[in-house]
Homo-oligomer: A and B are copies of this chain.
Amino acid sequence: MDSNKLGHHISEQFNKELEDIRNKVLIMGGLLEQQIDLAVQAFTTGNIEIAEVVIKQDNQVDEMEMAIDQECTEILARRQPTAFDLRLLMSVIKIVHELERVGDKAKRVSEMAIQLGGGNGKVTYYEIEHMAELVKSMLHDALDAFARLDLANLSQITERDENVDREYDNILRQLITRMMEDPRHITRALDVLWTVRALERIGDHACYICEHLIYIVKGEDVRHSTQHQLEEKINH
């Protein structure tokens, strides 16, 4: 944590509040990384109990989002912050919303694991595990950058989303081929498709977290920028 940024308040109490918020975001992020792990494990092993744990824990994710959101709003009302502090609080609300949506995707993967009941054709397992690793590392690194309020690695994180998209296209093509070869597999292949799509979206949310972080640090809204524009903005 950059103590120049978060430790500059005369009010010790305000410093503590902001640090508390930041810690809660990181705890929530840790839970989401675990949710992704468990969901993919449930999917590749067909373990329905694990899938049910993920679905149950998603309520906890939702509650965390609402609690952090409320805490930020209360601080806004009580402290009436401006500049960096205001941007931090506004962006935390957006970041926990991205995390909540990551949670929805993990839940979706688990639902597909249950629906498929283990018999989901092993062809794409390796690819799905690989894709999950990719998006999980993007999310992890985005949260790590948030913890340190450090933009240095951001463009390297968002860049990796291209690999995710490539992997997604690759699996999609395999699935279509399989559906064509044996139309009886179409329903199951669609369930795998929803899973892969959910994982692909997690990569997007990790990128959005990076964008929110740039806004906190630089004060510039870089949503809807291209990779090239993003790099320019980080370096200026």
Out of B76, B183, B223, name the residue touching A179 (CB < 8 Å).
B183
The complex places the Cα of A69 from the Cα of B187 at a distance, in Å, of 42
Residue numbers in B under 8 Å from A184 (CB-CB) = 180
Residue numbers in B under 8 Å from A70 (CB-CB) = 221
Q: Which single residue of chain B is at the shortest CB-CB distance from A172?
A: B190
Assembly stoichiometry (copies): 2
Residue numbers in B under 8 Å from A87 (CB-CB) = 73
Closest Cβ of chain B to A94, distance in Å, is 8
**Most chain B CB atoms below 10 A, which of A70, A76, A193:** A76
The complex places the Cα of A97 from the Cα of B97 at a distance, in Å, of 11
**The 3 nearest A-B residue pairs measured at CB:** A80-B80, A62-B224, A180-B183
What does the 1/0 interface line of A179-209 toward B look like (CB < 8 Å)? 1100110110010010000000000000000
Closest Cβ of chain B to A69, distance in Å, is 7
A contact residues vs B (CB 8 Å cutoff):
59, 62, 65-66, 69-70, 73, 76-77, 80, 82-83, 86-87, 90, 93-94, 97, 176, 179-180, 183-184, 186-187, 190, 193, 221, 223-224
The complex places the Cα of A82 from the Cα of B75 at a distance, in Å, of 10
Secondary structure at the A interface, as helix, strand, loop or mixed, is helix
Residue numbers in B under 8 Å from A193 (CB-CB) = 190
The contact sample of 25 A-B pairs, CB cut-off 8 A, is A59-B224, A62-B223, A66-B221, A66-B223, A66-B224, A69-B221, A73-B86, A73-B87, A73-B90, A76-B76, A76-B86, A76-B90, A77-B82, A77-B83, A77-B86, A94-B97, A176-B186, A176-B187, A179-B183, A179-B186, A180-B184, A180-B186, A183-B183, A186-B186, A190-B193
